[in-house]
Structure 1
Amino acid sequence: MTDIATHPPPVFILSFRQRDELAELAASAGWQVVAARRAAGAERRFLTSGAAIAVIDARGALAEGRAAAAAIGGAIAANGGALLALVSRGDTTAIADFYDAGATHFLASPFTEAEFLQALRYAGRHAERMAGDWRGSGSTEPLGWRLDVHSRSLLLTPAFARLLGVDEQPRPIALWRRIDPADRRAGMAALRRLSAAHGATAFAHDLPGLGRIVQHLQYDAKTGRIDALVETMGSAPEPASVLRDALIGSQDAAGARRWIDRRLADADGRPLSAMLIALNRFDIINTAYGRAVGDDLLRAAFKRIEEAAGGALAVRLGGSEFLVAIEDSGVRVALVAERIAGELARPFVTGETIAVLGCRIGIAGREPGDTAVSLLRRASEALADARASDSATVRTADAGGEEASIDALAVELHHAIERGEIDILFQPQVSVTTGAIVGVEALARWDHPTLGTIGADMLFAAAARADLEIGLSDHIQRIVLERAAAWPAALRSLRLALNLTAADIARPGFADLFLDRVDSSGFPRGRLTVEIVEGGLIEDLGIAAGLLATLRGAGLRVAIDDFGTGYSSLAYLKSLPLDYLKIDKKLAQDITGTTRDRVVVRGVIDMARSLGLVVIAEGVETQEQLELLAKEGCQIYQGFLRSEPVSVESLVAMMGAS
């Protein structure tokens, strides 16, 4: 007999009026069906079924269907399954409600049997793409049996045999006697309903040791076999409550603390980190625009935090503070914090209001003897340190936490360079006057195989720790110049901006080495700008000035980057041979702040223009910022308002669209 473990893929069907018809139709196409007629307990029944696909038939029962979709939608989203909603033709306007509840596929009546089965197959493919092997809360081993009608031989799945304490091939009468005499009539009636024309049915009964169960029966007339999938109802754990506990969301801060306490109580001592996030300037915006706008911003901020957290527990604690708890430490936590900070730095749009918030983040990692209270207290202290800082967005309670993260990356960096994991993206630089793309800045990214994208700041911090700063800079310069030299005709009018590091500037003979590298690549010197970060020049201004003069005399252009973040800005403007001044993004974004902020930005632009420098504003994210910068005399901008850093292919498409 064929091993019963190789059972057909399961599908959960909830139909208030046509359960048996749909179940039979799906069974005839090879699906193992778990079908229900009542919405009560639908989420739990779906999870315990082990199915990756749910079908909700809301035809003639729209309200009940909506409620069931809302109950099951969270499990679908969490596990990567598919939800097929069936609606009446007159109810198609409700499709948006089902979509919001988590439905992934729709079918409106009237439809043919072939159309229903095709929709079911599409849903199955979607579930496979989203989740691969289904990670539902049901048992990994199916409970069920197979009966060969002709030979009267019975085979139980191993898990079902273990639960009943019987052999995997018992006599059918032995299993029948396990059913209470009062329930045998229902079982016999179900068996009699099975025929070539009616291939699927179900019946419920109590079974000692398992409690209440439903036996979903399918009959294959060709093979003469009856397959039964056993769905436990009474004694099985409550998967719905487990799932809700794991996905606490933004409504239950107390539940989040209980979740943390349980993880801390685990004997295995797995790493756990708590991250507290506080929005900047929220109180000001809430007061200025009203509570409705404030509530919209909080919902939008929480959504961004959830997405950036990548499945970690995320909770709104109250006010404008949030909690993210991650079962990890070190590098991964630092990257999640970086992603969250980046997402919250992007402008929010609610109604006619555009708000730029930003955030501060405090992180604490698990220590021996921790409780949720002590862990969150240390995270709160770290958050307070971040708020007190003039520039730090993230603070870690354990002073060694960030250092350990960078150390871990430093160990891998050498191999990352060899494996070609360092990639380059290009961010457009746009003329304020014409809106045309006139240049790009090359930006390095580390496509880490497990941690995802790592930005330039952490990348170079790791390089400094590994004593690979020069090696990394050389590697990036070669990649950038080779790619730019091979640009298609559509990009050959663009200037290329390439960053030099403080280590580059301090290298003896670097000017000749760099010019040889440029010439060997074939990229024209006249279209290349070297950018020097202001903070990297403070070591020896005389050496920097001599190097830049050499490069400028050889036909390159020179820009000072992140202007306005250091302490010697005026000395740099007076001493260095420059062509461009790039205003730091924080300074550029301040132009929409107070009158004093705008006066400072205006002074910087006026000073640069009076020295004959072209002014480039970084980090421009809103139309209001751009308009105010234009009024003050800024000539070029870059930022998310026009484009994030993109690949060469995307850049070509943008130039074509322009």
Structure 2
Amino acid sequence: MSGETALDGQRSLFILSPGDRDGLSQQARAAGWRAIAARRATDAAQRFLHSDAQIALADMRGAGDGDIRLIASLGPSVDAGGGALIVLVDAGDMAAVPALLEAGATHFLAAPFTPAELRATLASAQRLVDRLVGGTTHSRRAQRIRRGDALFWERDGDRIRISDNLARHLGLDRQSVDPATFIRRLPRAERRSVIAALRGMMRSGRPEAFAHAAPGRPGDRLVHHLRLVDGVVAADVEWLSDAHGHDATGRDDLTGLRSRQAALDWLEQRQGLATTVLLLSISQFDRMNAAYGQVVGDALLGRIARRIERMTVDMAVGAMVARIAGTEFLIGLTGEAATAEKATFLARQLIGAIGRPFSAGDHLIRLTARCGIAQSRADDDATRLIRRAGTALADARVGGGEGIRIFSSEKRSRQVDADQLETDLRLALDRGEIGILFQPQYPVDGEHMIGVEALARWNHPQYGALGAGMLFATAGRSDYMLPLSAHIQAEALRQAAAWPRALSHLRLSINVTAEDIAQPGFMPQFLNLVDMSGFPRSRLTVEITESGLIEDVDNATALLTALRAEGLAVAVDDFGTGYSSLAYLKSLPLDYLKIDSGLAQDIAGTARDRIIVRGVIHMAKSLGLRVIAEGVETEQQLDLLTREGCDYYQGFLRSAGVSSADLVALALKA
């Protein structure tokens, strides 16, 4: 049995309850969960980060405004790890829900509650976590193990298998030892409690715990949380520090990213290897902090960290992400990802991610970022490498352009030339670099896939996978939109026509650009393309963006009317980028309205956001249109969209874009 399988056999729940810690822990264990419980809110965020829990349960029964402010410190830590925060409230205290949502709550449970209600809420929270971090096989524990910072061990036959990080702390040079060797590494005065805890658990089968002084840090304690999983003794180890703000695992308390010292250690361990660092700085943050306060600022830093970590992990395997100062983040790349080109591309994506609005109450906060890049040298140490990235960052702050500078060998930073992508795109079609992914669509009240949207991906030889946003932006600059659009349409139809009969119920949505609409003779050419592919017209939906409609409303209306007459369905895509378009919506020949991902995500924001989304959905329904929400990422968003009358949805909550082969497997599995 692998360590990960055994350790994941029973899920962990972090409980914060000033008044009922033990009672809630007992109920959690009865529901099949392992409880890690705390009474004090002041150190709850740090303890959650040190635990292996993905879900936190905060007991706010009888809480006042001060307690709500305290719980706000836990929200960013849960959010930063892609977790879920359940808040337990009194049934008559639902007026506190808006403030708790702002603090990071994702689920609510009203007291009194039954064991079945607790189990259902925990299951809902776990589904959210599984989808946020990529599925049940990619739990937060798996992410921590891949990062190498996990503290755990398990008994495997006559050996004890120990995580790499715990072995280092215990002074062991290997990760598999006999039990006697393991116990001898613990303080002599506390070995008796270890043996007693193990014997007690083996007799009763119930979880136990023991604690001892941390090696080399007498004021710190290591708490071993023991449990039996399929007859195997497993333990997750929590490091408790007596120093305020200290994180013995090398983690930043606020964001959960690596600390500055941990980043320096990571770089020193790779001395002599090709390494590239990106130093990313968030602009305008001090002004935002002054306007909204430290609680909002701290929460926002957690969300920024989450965006940075998600994007970096997706694009660069084995990358290091750290928060090294107030609003400065360091990303370390090695191996194939350490080229200047790939670092530059990642910097662009990170700056774009930071530029997407963040919500704070009734306001949208817009931030910008700058990035300095430096590559390692043979005689480098970590400090010099970061210092050069800082020099490049300083140039990026005062320079124009896209806000990215690379430190050059002449000790000057240079602006990145973005024109190479335009040249590469003209060769990409011939090289077969433009591929198709299909993102599934589901009814809001059902589990069976009803359709897919075809999405383009550019498998660039230097930068790796580039999304549709970068691809179409490059095509627009290089006047290459028509050949690209035609290729994507033809390839999507070709692959969809080859699907097995079991998928004959699925609709296919493909995009038509404003350039397509303006092209003379586009409709007969497009219909011929559809018919030649063999894909039925009756299952095809043509999507055109709202901005594409605005560019030429009359021509677009005529084209869409003709396409519907030929048996195709029509959808307006990315709706919500311009609310003035509501006025002419009724004049367009449409079957579907697709809500822009930003608008769909806003529904979980303020009351004003929900009113806007409600108005869009209700107008669409009054015109007989079916509504599809894009970019749905959370159960809360889906629940609210369902209440407002949305019909279908797509997004990371269910699935990212997948290949045709993976789509077939996914559909048949369902």
TM-score after normalising by structure 2: 0.52
1:608 aligns with 2:655: no
1:528 aligns with 2:540: yes
Deviations 1:10-69 (A, max 9, x none): xxxxxxxxxxxxxxxxxxxxxxxxxxxxxxxxxxxxxxxxxxxxxxxxxxxxxxxxxxxx
CA distance in 1, matches of 2:156, 2:501: 54
Partner amino acid, structure 1, of 2:280: M
CA distance in 1, matches of 2:173, 2:502: 40
- Give the match for residue 576 of structure 1: 588
SS in 2 for 1:424: strand
1:276 aligns with 2:287: no
Preserved contact between residue 585 and residue 620 of structure 1 (Cα < 8 Å): yes
Match of 2:393 among 357, 376, 380: 376
Preserved contact between residue 497 and residue 530 of structure 1 (Cα < 8 Å): yes
Deviations 1:567-611 (A, max 9, x none): 642244133211111111111101111111111111111111111
Preserved contact between residue 481 and residue 523 of structure 1 (Cα < 8 Å): yes
CA-CA distance at 1:371 after TM superposition: 6.2
- Give the match for residue 478 of structure 1: 490
Preserved contact between residue 309 and residue 324 of structure 1 (Cα < 8 Å): no
Instruction: Indicate how the Cα distance of structure 1 residues 524 and 77 shifts in structure 2: closer, same or farther if over 3 A, else same.
Output: closer
1:404 aligns with 2:417: yes
Match of 1:493 among 505, 508, 511: 505
CA-CA distance at 1:333 after TM superposition: 1.3
CA-CA distance at 1:652 after TM superposition: 2.0
Instruction: Indicate how the Cα distance of structure 1 residues 317 and 98 shifts in structure 2: closer, same or farther if over 3 A, else same.
Output: closer
CA-CA distance at 1:296 after TM superposition: 7.9
Partner amino acid, structure 2, of 1:250: S
Preserved contact between residue 498 and residue 530 of structure 1 (Cα < 8 Å): yes
- Give the match for residue 517 of structure 2: 505
SS in 1 for 2:529: helix
Preserved contact between residue 578 and residue 613 of structure 1 (Cα < 8 Å): yes
CA distance in 1, matches of 2:637, 2:173: 39
- Give the match for residue 345 of structure 2: 334
CA-CA distance at 1:319 after TM superposition: 3.7
Deviations 1:495-541 (A, max 9, x none): 10000111101100101110011011111111000000112223221
1:287 aligns with 2:295: yes
Q: Percent identity?
A: 45
SS in 1 for 2:603: helix
CA distance in 1, matches of 2:439, 2:660: 10
CA distance in 2, matches of 1:88, 1:310: 30
User: Mapping of 1:92-131 within 5 angstroms?
Assistant: 92=160, 94-95=162-163, 98=166, 107=176
SS in 1 for 2:656: coil
User: Mapping of 1:168-179 within 5 angstroms?
Assistant: none
- Give the match for residue 434 of structure 1: 446
Partner amino acid, structure 1, of 2:325: G
Instruction: Indicate how the Cα distance of structure 1 residues 550 and 471 shifts in structure 2: closer, same or farther if over 3 A, else same.
Output: same
1:322 aligns with 2:322: no
Preserved contact between residue 277 and residue 389 of structure 2 (Cα < 8 Å): no
Instruction: Indicate how the Cα distance of structure 1 residues 520 and 607 shifts in structure 2: closer, same or farther if over 3 A, else same.
Output: same
Preserved contact between residue 482 and residue 521 of structure 1 (Cα < 8 Å): yes
Match of 2:663 among 647, 651, 655: 651
| More contact order relative to length (CA 8 Å, sep ≥ 6) | 2
- Give the match for residue 98 of structure 2: none
CA-CA distance at 1:249 after TM superposition: 5.8
Preserved contact between residue 276 and residue 339 of structure 2 (Cα < 8 Å): yes
Partner amino acid, structure 1, of 2:330: L
Preserved contact between residue 410 and residue 466 of structure 1 (Cα < 8 Å): yes
- Give the match for residue 638 of structure 2: 626
CA-CA distance at 1:469 after TM superposition: 1.2
CA-CA distance at 1:618 after TM superposition: 0.5
User: Mapping of 1:145-156 within 5 angstroms?
Assistant: none
Partner amino acid, structure 1, of 2:160: T
Instruction: Indicate how the Cα distance of structure 1 residues 301 and 282 shifts in structure 2: closer, same or farther if over 3 A, else same.
Output: farther
Question: Structure 1 residues 93-102 or 431-440, which shifts more?
Answer: 93-102
1:550 aligns with 2:555: no
CA distance in 2, matches of 1:301, 1:466: 30
Partner amino acid, structure 1, of 2:599: L
Question: Structure 1 residues 313-322 or 95-104, which shifts more?
Answer: 95-104
CA distance in 1, matches of 2:584, 2:414: 35
CA distance in 1, matches of 2:536, 2:479: 31
User: Mapping of 1:286-305 within 5 angstroms?
Assistant: 287=295, 303-304=309-310
Deviations 1:458-486 (A, max 9, x none): 11222233332111111111111111111
SS in 2 for 1:592: coil
CA distance in 2, matches of 1:571, 1:107: 69
- Give the match for residue 251 of structure 1: 260
Instruction: Indicate how the Cα distance of structure 1 residues 305 and 427 shifts in structure 2: closer, same or farther if over 3 A, else same.
Output: closer
CA distance in 2, matches of 1:325, 1:109: 36
Instruction: Indicate how the Cα distance of structure 1 residues 323 and 109 shifts in structure 2: closer, same or farther if over 3 A, else same.
Output: closer
1:517 aligns with 2:529: yes
Preserved contact between residue 355 and residue 368 of structure 2 (Cα < 8 Å): no
Instruction: Indicate how the Cα distance of structure 1 residues 363 and 97 shifts in structure 2: closer, same or farther if over 3 A, else same.
Output: closer
Partner amino acid, structure 1, of 2:569: R
Partner amino acid, structure 1, of 2:471: L
- Give the match for residue 447 of structure 1: 459
- Give the match for residue 188 of structure 1: none
- Give the match for residue 414 of structure 1: 426
CA distance in 2, matches of 1:610, 1:377: 54
Instruction: Indicate how the Cα distance of structure 1 residues 306 and 527 shifts in structure 2: closer, same or farther if over 3 A, else same.
Output: closer
Partner amino acid, structure 2, of 1:334: F
CA distance in 2, matches of 1:342, 1:302: 8
CA-CA distance at 1:545 after TM superposition: 0.9
Instruction: Indicate how the Cα distance of structure 1 residues 101 and 573 shifts in structure 2: closer, same or farther if over 3 A, else same.
Output: farther
- Give the match for residue 563 of structure 1: 575
Deviations 1:330-364 (A, max 9, x none): 665134542686699999xxxxxxxx999753235
- Give the match for residue 219 of structure 1: none
Instruction: Indicate how the Cα distance of structure 1 residues 318 and 423 shifts in structure 2: closer, same or farther if over 3 A, else same.
Output: same
Instruction: Indicate how the Cα distance of structure 1 residues 98 and 285 shifts in structure 2: closer, same or farther if over 3 A, else same.
Output: farther
Partner amino acid, structure 2, of 1:333: T
User: Mapping of 1:31-46 within 5 angstroms?
Assistant: none
TM-score after normalising by structure 1: 0.53
SS in 2 for 1:601: helix
- Give the match for residue 481 of structure 2: 469
Partner amino acid, structure 1, of 2:369: I
> What number of residue pairs does the alignment pair up?
410
Deviations 1:188-238 (A, max 9, x none): xxxxxxxxxxxxxxxxxxxxxxxxxxxxxxxxxxxxxxxxxxxxxxxxxxx
CA distance in 2, matches of 1:508, 1:552: 18
SS in 1 for 2:666: helix
Deviations 1:354-410 (A, max 9, x none): xx99975323568xxx9655532344568xx99xxxxxxx85589x999932x2112
Preserved contact between residue 490 and residue 529 of structure 2 (Cα < 8 Å): yes
Question: Structure 1 residues 486-495 or 456-465, which shifts more?
Answer: 456-465
Question: Structure 1 residues 619-628 or 558-567, which shifts more?
Answer: 558-567
Instruction: Indicate how the Cα distance of structure 1 residues 303 and 98 shifts in structure 2: closer, same or farther if over 3 A, else same.
Output: farther
CA-CA distance at 1:489 after TM superposition: 1.6
SS in 1 for 2:557: helix
Instruction: Indicate how the Cα distance of structure 1 residues 499 and 381 shifts in structure 2: closer, same or farther if over 3 A, else same.
Output: farther
Preserved contact between residue 279 and residue 357 of structure 1 (Cα < 8 Å): no
1:641 aligns with 2:641: no
Preserved contact between residue 86 and residue 108 of structure 1 (Cα < 8 Å): no
CA distance in 1, matches of 2:173, 2:490: 46
User: Mapping of 1:154-233 within 5 angstroms?
Assistant: none
1:424 aligns with 2:436: yes
